[in-house]
């Protein structure tokens, strides 16, 4: 029942469900793998993954952040293709800035999962109304992620340094107003 409710909040072009405590293994595959993290400053330590999942689950259940898992097959919701997240910065000079991030596991890449998932989240953000302009900061050399931004309708603003998981990255700065810019 809980899962059906979670599904019903998302559009049908891609199945998304809220992150669950059981997604630790998927997080490890996404965040502790050198290839997956090549454009994100390298893998993060395995030891912090349970805490990151716990925070993402708690914030998502509180409807403060939207952290969703991409589900290729509704009959097997524990199998995930990747994740997509939308959150709002809570401190520093970017306080109030809405940001998205996404990851798709290697065996699911190149099948439009990222594009469809990012679009679905932006459609929900548009309908929800609280997020305003949404920003994304893929690494300058991250061809696939910059292509996702371009194909969904983000506009390139410029470059900037951002910190991700404690590392400084040189990124492109993209923005989209989901109420007017979704392609
Ligand atoms: C970036 C990533 C999420 C892309 O996921 P994906 O599901 O393979 O992407 P999609 O299939 O949805 O592709 C979306 C668009 O990007 C293009 N694209 C995908 N991979 C590409 C690549 N390597 N080079 C150039 N363009 C690429 C697609 O052609 C498509 O554009 P189109 O609709 O105009 O044809 C995935 O490669 C990934 O997780 N990489 C490692 C983690 C990472 O870097 N995350 C992003 C951090 S900002």
Closest of 35, 39, 144, 132 to residue 86, by C-alpha: 132
Of all atoms in ligand 1, which is nearest to the CA of residue 30? 42
User: What residues contact residue 164 under an 8 Å CB cut-off, 6+ apart?
Assistant: 40, 41, 137
| Ligand 1 atom 20: residue of nearest CA | 144
Is pLDDT at 155 greater than 50 in this prediction?
yes
Please compute the mean of the pLDDT values over residues 102-111 and round it to a whole number. 97
DSSP assignment of 127-183? HH-SS-SEEE--BTT-HHHHHHHHHHT-EEEEEEEEEETTEEEEEEEEEE-TTT---
Which helix (H) or strand (E) segment holds residue 17: the answer is strand 15-18
pLDDT band for position 183 (cuts 50, 70, 90): confident
Specify the pLDDT at position 37.
95
Whether 139 shows a pLDDT value over 80: the answer reads: yes
CB distance 109 to ligand 1 below 6 Å: yes
Question: 104 falls in which pLDDT band (50, 70, 90)?
Answer: very high
Indicate the top mutation candidate among 114, 116, 150 to test ligand 1's pocket, ranked by most ligand atoms within 8 A of CB.
Answer: 114
For residue 95 the two structure tokens come to: 């306080």
How many A from CA of 87 to the centre of ligand 1? 21
At residue 4, does pLDDT exceed 60? no
Report, as an integer, the average pLDDT of 38-46.
Answer: 94
Asked if the model's pLDDT at residue 10 lies above 60, the reply is no
Which residues, including other chains, have CB under 8 Å from residue 81's CB and lie 6 or more apart? 70, 71, 72, 104, 105, 108, 111, 113
Beta strands in 26-166 (DSSP E): 66-71, 82-88, 98-104, 134-136, 155-164
Ligand 1: residue of 137, 140, 147 to mutate (most ligand atoms within 8 A of CB) is 147
Query: What mean pLDDT do residues 57-71 have?
Result: 98
Banded pLDDT at 163 (limits 50, 70, 90): confident
pLDDT at position 166: 84
- The residue whose CA has the least distance to atom 28 of ligand 1 is 147
């Amino acid at each position: 029942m809980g899962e059906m409710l979670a599904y019903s909040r998302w559009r049908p072009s891609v199945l998304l469900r809220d992150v669950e405590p059981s997604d630790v293994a998927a997080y490890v595959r996404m965040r502790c793998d050198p290839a997956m993290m090549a454009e994100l400053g390298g893998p993060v330590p395995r030891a912090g993954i349970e805490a990151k999942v716990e925070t993402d689950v708690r914030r998502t259940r509180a409807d403060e952040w939207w952290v969703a898992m991409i589900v290729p097959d509704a009959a097997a919701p524990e199998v995930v293709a990747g994740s997509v997240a939308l959150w709002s910065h809570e401190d520093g000079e970017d306080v109030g800035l809405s940001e998205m991030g996404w990851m798709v596991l290697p065996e699911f890449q190149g099948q439009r999962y990222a594009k469809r998932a990012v679009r679905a989240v932006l459609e929900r953000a548009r309908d929800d109304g609280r997020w305003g302009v949404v920003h994304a900061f893929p690494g300058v050399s991250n061809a696939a992620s910059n292509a996702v931004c371009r194909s969904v309708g983000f506009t390139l603003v410029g470059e900037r340094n951002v910190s991700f998981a404690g590392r400084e990255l040189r990124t492109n700065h993209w923005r989209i107003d989901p109420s007017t810019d979704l392609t």
